[in-house]
Structure 1
């Protein structure tokens, strides 16, 4: 069983978190777990192979949700590398696979009482699309729009990846 991690990253923070989650998955790997593959959303498949047993989907929180063309354009004006498409657009094109465990994650600025989460929005959109086992996972904090990732968050991402590997080993998603 493979794990596929689809991520959107504008300033590199979400990519760094995704890579660290992958490290945790590999470290906590169950005996029957196959490869862990990271794919930027621009290169993500629109059909998830039957060999994928866990799909992780992550992106930055912009304007209280997943990015939009305008928020990506605004980020590019601030030095980000804007993707051709974001998670929102990819979710609209991906073919749903009922029964596939999907867990979302995001990066967010750590501001007390600031609402909104790309992870929550992505999980909801994926369920609406037909991924009946999509659930919201974790939010990882960044210091500012351009980052960096808050100290200790990468270790938390690694631990979460290892926890996901354990859940997969026990057939729980």
Structure 2
């Protein structure tokens, strides 16, 4: 399979734009790995599809040690996040998707979390990975975390570059997976 044919969709939830910035960096990394890649908020993807991609990447902010819920998104709005971002989160979006909607079971997951609690035993990425496996997806690698300075951000120093490198690595892993399956 030629790399020019590879497509990736990076779906993200972001209340304060930190996760969106990480998603954009991952898109750059995927593009370096030869993918046509785009990032789209889950609020826009909730009623669209099907898609024909080779890889789905999901990113979500960690809220209360897991994926956001309506109450945690409402709390983010009280802290200044735009209200239109609180309607649907990654948790609700995952409940509506399956590999057939994307034309692939391959998925990669990452989360953002506050730097001072970087070693959380539970976080959005782990919860998302578990839920996605139940929906029939296959994770390319274990979830990874990108750090933010505090709830409102910004991303910690070096995290955008880290996200871009990870995007390229996950793109290479996807290409290898697809080549081995051919």
Structures share fold, TM-score greater than 0.5: yes
Unaligned runs of 5+ in 2: 1-5
- Which of the numbers 23, 29, 35 marks the counterpart of 1:18? 23
Q: List structure 1 segments (4+ residues) > 6 angstroms apart after TM superposition.
A: none
Aligned match of 2:95: 92
Kindly report which structure 2 residues correspond to 1:145-164, keeping only aligned pairs within 5 A, or say none. 145-164=151-170
Unaligned runs of 5+ in 1: none
**What is the rounded CA distance, in whole Å, between the counterparts of 2:136 and 2:177 in structure 1?**
21
Displacement of 1:115 after TM fit?
Answer: 3.0
Whether contact under 8 Å (1:48, 1:95) holds in the other structure is: no
**What is the rounded CA distance, in whole Å, between the counterparts of 2:53 and 2:99 in structure 1?**
13
Deviations 1:52-87 (A, max 9, x none): 110000010000000000000000000012331000
1:120 matched to 2:126: yes
Normalising to structure 1: TM-score of the pair? 0.88
1:53 matched to 2:54: yes
Whether contact under 8 Å (2:26, 2:163) holds in the other structure is: yes
Whose helix proportion is higher, 1 or 2? 2
1:144 matched to 2:145: no
Whether contact under 8 Å (1:104, 1:138) holds in the other structure is: yes
Whether contact under 8 Å (1:47, 1:95) holds in the other structure is: no
Displacement of 1:39 after TM fit?
Answer: 1.0
**What is the rounded CA distance, in whole Å, between the counterparts of 1:27 and 1:130 in structure 2?**
28
Change beyond 3 A, Cα 1:48–1:101: farther
Normalising to structure 2: TM-score of the pair? 0.84
**What is the rounded CA distance, in whole Å, between the counterparts of 1:52 and 1:70 in structure 2?**
32
Displacement of 1:165 after TM fit?
Answer: 2.1
Q: Secondary structure at the match of 2:81?
A: coil
Greater displacement, 10-19 / 120-129: 120-129
Count of residue pairs brought into register by the alignment: 167
Change beyond 3 A, Cα 1:48–1:117: farther
Displacement of 1:46 after TM fit?
Answer: 5.8
